[in-house]
Every structure is written in C-alpha cells, then in structure tokens.
Structure 1
Amino acid sequence: MVVVKMPDIIFLDVEMPGLSGLDLLKAMPLPRPHIILVTAFREYALEAFEYEVAGFLLKPVSRERFLKTVLKITIRYPQDFLALEAPNMESGQHATTGSRSGAYNDNLQSQGFIWVRSNGKFHRIPHWKILAVEALKDYIKIYMTQASGMLLVRENIGRMEQRLPGSDFIRIHRSFIINRHQVKTIEGNMVTMEGGEKYQISDSQRRDIIVKLLTRE
C-alpha cells in the first residue's frame, strides 16, 4: 500500500489558469498545510491574511527572502517539521522534539539586542524579548514578553524606532511600535499580540500598516 504524506508547506501562486490560488485555498479542507502565498500584487495581502496563510512572498522572490520565509515557519512551528525522536549521531541517544525546538528558538532569540538605561541601570534587551514600545512625552515604555515586565526609559520614540530593526518592528501609531513577530490577530484598527495585549493602528495609515505587517521580511 502506498502512503501519501500531506506536504508540510505549499507555495501557492495567486494567478493560475482556471482556478486562482485563493479559490484553491478556500477549497482546501482543514487543517491545511502551511501555505505561503506567492504573487506580484501587494493587494492580495489583506485577503491572504483572512485565510491565515503562514507566509506571503512578493514576486520577484529572492533566494534570501525565500529561505527566510521558510525558516521563520519552521522556527515558529517546530513540532510540524521535527520527528518525535531523532538519533543523536554522536552519542547514539535520541533527541526529543522539545530539545530540537529549543535549539531553533535559541538561535532565533540570539539575533540582536539593544542597551537602554532605566532606573539608574543599563539593561541589555534582546530584540525578540521586546513586545511593544509606547511613547510617553519625554519617555518611552518598553513592554517585554514572558512576564519580564516593563522598563521606563528617557528616550524619544522616533529615536527608538531608528534603533530597532525594521524587519522585526513596525510603528503602527505615533505612540506605538510593536514586534511584528508577536502579532496574533488584526481586527479593524486593533492589533492583538500573542499574550493578549492590544494596540491601536493609526486610522490614517491602517491599510499600509496592515500590508507591511503581512509582507515585510
């Protein structure tokens, strides 16, 4: 008997003869594989978001962007790509999915950091740990993930925006910068983060900001 395995990732072009990629996406039963939508048109980003695609690639697609998109999916959903048990080539023992996924997360979390001064101390904050930044007159509040609390820093939000990598952070309002990797849902003008925190999107830039959240790599 031949066993056909469901693909882990499907690259789906929007513009196809006969049946569009979005029509095919609508017809797919749940649960779906991880879908990466490929198109030359940015306007499909909003519709793609409604179907919870895992990635969005704009043509022409560079090799670097292709690899980054796939890597982000494997890091975020390691349980979907790692075997339950894998042999350890050096010791002959088995490595569990949890240990392998931990290695992935360690690699992701080690990428970049900033130093800030708060309450007379200098704090080293990895980029991955920053959930959001809020402007407060001459100060900013830096909210952090994993119950790490908040730091009050004498800094201008515009300056902080320049210090944070644009590939990971986006300013959604004159008073808020958020970590785009921590976004869970977008509904109307409200962004909900993985931990349940909510931040408002600027009315005047709503569409552009949502497109950036969905497509920026």
Structure 2
Amino acid sequence: MMQLSCFIVDDEPIAIETLSLLIGRFCPSLKIIGNAVTVKQALTTLQQQTVDILFLDIRMQQETGFDLLAQTGTPSFHIIFVTAHDDYGIQAIKFSATDYLLKPVNAEELIAAVHKISQKKQSDKEQVELLLQSYVLQKQHQQKRIALPDQTEIKFVPIDDIICCKADNTYTTFYLVNDKTILVSKPISEYESLLEPYGFVRVHQSWLTNSAQVISYKKEDGGYLLMSNKIKIPVSRQRKHLLKRIQ
C-alpha cells in the first residue's frame, strides 16, 4: 500500500498525542511528518513540505481551521477535520471536505477516513473552495446557500430557491424556482442531512421536498404532494408520518 504523509493541527497537545497514537497503531500507511498548535506554525510546515493529509481542528482558541485554509492558497492535500463540536456546521463540513472525525476519535472511523483517501488519485481542489465559501457565508450571516457542483462549475444556490430534489442512483437533480434544474453527482442522502434543518422532508426514497414550497397534499393515487412548480411528489406509506413536519 502506498504510504501517505500526514500533518496534525490542534491547539490541544493531548489531542495531537492521542491522534498520533491511533494513527501509529491502526494506520500503517500513514507517516506523520509533524504537528502544530497554531495556524502560524502549521503554515510554516505546509509551505515547506508536501503533505497528503491534513488532520485539522476547527476551533482553536482565537483561531479556526478555516483561517489556516484561507492562507494556503490552493492546497493539494486532503482535509480531515477533527473536532469536538457535533452541530450543523459538521454536516456542511461532511458534505464538502474529504471527511471528518469527532473527538474522542473512533479507530474504525479513522481507518475508514484514511481508506477513502487512499482510494483517490488526487485531492479535489473544489473541496476547499466549498468550505471557505460556506464559512464566509455563515460568518457574515448572509442568506443560507448551498454549493452545488455540476460538470462545469460550482453554483451557490439560496436554499429557499430549492423546491425539491430527486434521486437517480448516485446522482441528485435539484429543481429550483424559475424552472431551473441542476444535476449533481452526489446521492440524495448527502443532502437530506444537510437540508433537514431548513424544513426539507424526505417523503419518498427518491424525493426530498422543501416544505415551504408545498402547495397541498392530495389523497388520491396513494397520496402525493403538489409542489409550487406543479411537480407531483409521491408520499410512501412508510413515510406518511413525516407529513406533520410540513407546515
């Protein structure tokens, strides 16, 4: 197995030590080339050495992991966030970054994250652009948007403009206001957890709906939702109890 270099950034020395022990025991394909407890220290190493994987803490006293990413330009390394904060921000990170780990780090999750990276030929540069854009939007308290990468570009779409999403194997089609659509090569399950805090409901295995865009629930034909764009979305028998979330 090809050996990958990794670097750990965390403001807690004990967290660095714990993760280093786990990597040494369970991830023989990784070589730790160093660690840092501040953004400044990390930048010095990242500017001088080639790193395949960056294990990055999010909240570090007066700094954040995003502050480091903002100063690295267009990095070639993969990013695995290691954080103790399991909130909505984590869902966005999971969507955009290579992976994330919650403290205390679970060995199986660490192994799975490293394996995912080892299967990739190169880092996706879009991931950092998505992360930084999401971070800036949240920091400025602007209207919530989601980054949707299609074949030619990354589109930042206001969540309120999404009417519904349809699954097609590992692809998802977003139906937007003004009859626009965007096809993304990610499964609908990724977006379900990301959009649920904004009133989206998975009423069918193949459909994720924006409750604010529902016109009515029709009881005929087994039951379906009529959306603002006139699309009829079936409601599965097993998920009819979720209709109470639509207001």
TM-score (norm 1): 0.45
Larger RCO (CA under 8 A, 6+ residues apart): 1
Whose helix fraction is larger, Structure 1's or Structure 2's? 2
